[in-house]
Chains A and B, each alone.
Chain A
Amino acid sequence: MQICQEPLVIPGDVYEKREIPSDVALVTPLVVRVIEKLVEKGFLSEAQRMKTQLCLDEAVTNGVIHGNDSDFSKLVTVSLFEDEKSWGIVVSDEGDGFSLRDLSEEPSSMADDGLWNENGRGLPLLALYMDEVTYYDGGSSLLMRQYFKS
């Protein structure tokens, strides 16, 4: 996982864009519609469906709660893209982002002494289930990408 201060340039073509005001009640309907679109595009096997749903749910929920502080006037935007070698999802919020230091100060839930943590599993999950996870715009845009397997 990387954090880039540079503005995000979405690779390839954006074929779908959806946005919601920052209310956690709106996350599930958004995720359901986006997953339906990815299934329709033929990108998700049954096994990948649950994992992608989980990643998208985590990313959008993070954007609503941590990025936008659940401020209903701020939007979380989901963009779907594809290029010749990959497909992916970008989740953007209108918050101030975060720093690498914020992340490193969190105890890792994957370490032996972090297994009893009740929080902090969202980002490790993204890193495990996606081929690429990169934060742009100082952390307010998250790009998740899967490369086509030949």
Chain B
Amino acid sequence: MPTINDELIELRTEGSVVVAEFVKGSFKDEKQILSSLEKLGSVIDARQNVQMVVDMSKIDYLSSAGLGRMVSLLKKAMSGGGCLHLASLNEPILELFEVMRLTQIFKIFPSIDDAVAGF
């Protein structure tokens, strides 16, 4: 099982799928969110064909830099033959993905279970 030394993210596996859950993610956590996404990138880099779900339910804020890191994560996963699914986006965050047209490149699911089943 992959591990991560980060106070914002908890990792677990469901079958072959890595589930990354943010435990918090308000505006004041923005810098930590960026750092945590960077660390998630290292987790993806270390595995070929990774299937990862990122639980976004506790994320209340993402800047353009955060969106950029999310795109970077997706690119890393796909370049290694894997895939990244996003789960449980709060309404303002989902709207942000929609207005920035990122729903065209990300696969977004209403729950972790749906996102895991979506592989």
Is B64 in contact with A110, judged by CB distance below 8 angstroms? no
List the one stretch of B1-9, B47-55, B69-77 in contact with chain A: B69-77
A contact face: mostly helix, strand, loop, or mixed:
helix
Please provide the chain B residues from 60 to 85 with a CB less than 8 Å away from any CB of chain A in the complex: 60-61, 63-65, 67-69, 71-72, 75
Is B68 in contact with A119, judged by CB distance below 8 angstroms? yes
Chain B residues, CB < 8 A from A115: 71, 101-102, 104-105
List the one stretch of A15-23, A122-130, A138-146 in contact with chain B: A122-130
Chain A residues, CB < 8 A from B23: none
Contact of A5 with B by CB under 8 A: no
Is B92 in contact with A50, judged by CB distance below 8 angstroms? yes
Is B63 in contact with A57, judged by CB distance below 8 angstroms? yes
Give Cα distance in the complex from A58 to B28, angstroms.
Answer: 14
Chain A residues, CB < 8 A from B71: 115-118
Contact of A14 with B by CB under 8 A: no
Is A50 in contact with B60, judged by CB distance below 8 angstroms? yes
Is A125 in contact with B64, judged by CB distance below 8 angstroms? yes
| Chain B residues at the A interface, C-beta cutoff of 8 Å | 27-28, 30-31, 60-61, 63-65, 67-69, 71-72, 75, 92, 96, 99-102, 104-105
Is B30 in contact with A50, judged by CB distance below 8 angstroms? no
What is the minimal beta-carbon distance from B24 to any residue of chain A, in angstroms? 15
Is B61 in contact with A58, judged by CB distance below 8 angstroms? no
Is A116 in contact with B61, judged by CB distance below 8 angstroms? no
Chain B residues, CB < 8 A from A117: 68, 71
Chain B residues, CB < 8 A from A58: 63-64
Q: List 7 A-B contacts (CB under 8 A).
A: A28-B30, A28-B31, A32-B27, A53-B27, A110-B100, A118-B72, A125-B99
Closest 7 A/B residue pairs (Cβ): A121-B64, A118-B68, A122-B64, A50-B92, A118-B72, A115-B105, A118-B71
Chain A residues, CB < 8 A from B65: 61
With A31-B27, A54-B63 already in contact, the answer to whether A118 and B69 are too (CB < 8 A) is yes
Most B-side CB within 10 Å, residue of A54, A117, A122: A54
CB 8 Å contact bits of A97-130 with B (1 = contact, 0 = none): 0000000000001100001111111101100100
Q: Which residue on A lies nearest to B31, using beta carbons?
A: A28
